[in-house]
Amino acid sequence: MTGYAVLTAGLFVGVILALSTGEAEIGLPEILSYLLDWVTRSGNDAEAGYTVIIQIRFPRAITALLVGASLATSGVLYQGLLLNPLAEPYTLGVATGAAFGASLAISFSLRPVAFFAFAGGMGTLAVVMVLGMERSGILGQTRLVLAGVVVSSILGAGVTLLKVLAGNRMTAIVFWLLGSFSVSTWSDVAWAAVSAFCVLGIGLISHRDLDVISSGASPGSLGVDERRSRALLLAGSSLATSLAVSISGVIGFVGLVVPHFLRLVFGPSHARLVPMAFLGGGFLLLLADTAARSMGEMPVGVITALVGGPVFCLLLWKGR
């Protein structure tokens, strides 16, 4: 329980820090007062401070938290499903598909961009699942990874081509690809919540199946329907990833570093790993977005890469 308590407390502190960070200086007493007014529906939308906290900073903080939770939880499911501690939500090319869809939408002024990003991610998943299915009807780990690499490479080339042809829209494409929560709204919070809590629910319901699959034992001999479990876990985690990416853009390392670190600290049991990743991913991305905002709206993907890359290298070095 200590780990849960620490991460939960960290999330509350992180949200308060996010609400107090920005060009407009708003103190803690005022923030708490605005939050209370919001809860009791007695706030004044005409008041500048209330609008800044409730309509700008609060939805941004909650969206970042939920997207981080979704990516990290999906990472746990991917690593258990593919028997690979280096797997992450982007391994099967879902993020690249979303990036292609978003780049296409930006290049041709199609709206909403998030819809095309989500459609691109789910379309990619469908192709990868077809290519990754063995003759027995079971989704094979090796075939899935290879299919993901190939499809991701093709779509990555497509994204590059669109950037070259985009002209003055290339900056918008690059900014989207690096990830940002700068225009997050309460609508984004709702969709991010769907993504995060769906993958959390699937992970908690299927934690025993994940333990069996990731152990390398024969799932059938232990009463696990391998075909159903693999399809459910893959579809659920990929759906959550695609939805999260459509909201925030491509944000790397959260779904890789957080599950890997927590697995080293708390062991392989998914009954514990899944909720811990939910909290840990939310905490990490919330802090990363707050740091990005304090640096003049730097893309949050830059922060996660600068922090996550060295940390992951250190974890690999320590785990030798």
Give CATH for domain 2-318.
Answer: 1.10.3470.10
Q: Phi-psi bin for 112: left (phi > 0), alpha (psi -120 to 50), beta?
A: beta
Count of alpha carbons within 13 angstroms of residue 17, beta-carbon side: 19
pLDDT of residue 81: 83
Helices 58-81 and 270-294 meet at what angle, rounded to 10? 140
Whether the per-residue pLDDT at 173 is higher than 90: the answer is no
Q: How far out from the chain centre does Cα 250 lie?
A: 9
Residue 206 structure tokens: 């299927």
Instruction: Indicate the domain borders of the chain.
Output: 2-318
186 pLDDT band (50/70/90 cuts)?
Answer: very high
Q: How does pLDDT run across 86-106, given as a tens digit for each residue?
A: 778 788 888 899 999 999 999
74 contacts: CB under 8 Å, gap ≥ 6? 89, 199, 237, 238, 240, 241, 244, 255
**pTM, 2 dp:** 0.90
N- to C-terminal Cα distance for the chain?
Answer: 29
Q: How does pLDDT run across 40-88, given as a tens digit for each residue?
A: 877 677 678 888 888 999 999 999 999 999 999 999 998 888 877 777 8
219 pLDDT band (50/70/90 cuts)?
Answer: low
Question: Alpha-carbon distance 53 to 175, whole Å?
Answer: 25
Q: How does pLDDT run across 295-317, given as a tens digit for each residue?
A: 877 888 888 888 888 877 887 77
- Give percent of the chain with pLDDT exceeding 90: 30
What Rg value do the Cα atoms of the chain yield, rounded?
A: 20
Whether the per-residue pLDDT at 222 is higher than 70: the answer is no
Q: How does pLDDT run across 23-45, given as a tens digit for each residue?
A: 777 888 888 888 888 888 776 77
Question: Alpha-carbon distance 127 to 284, whole Å?
Answer: 31
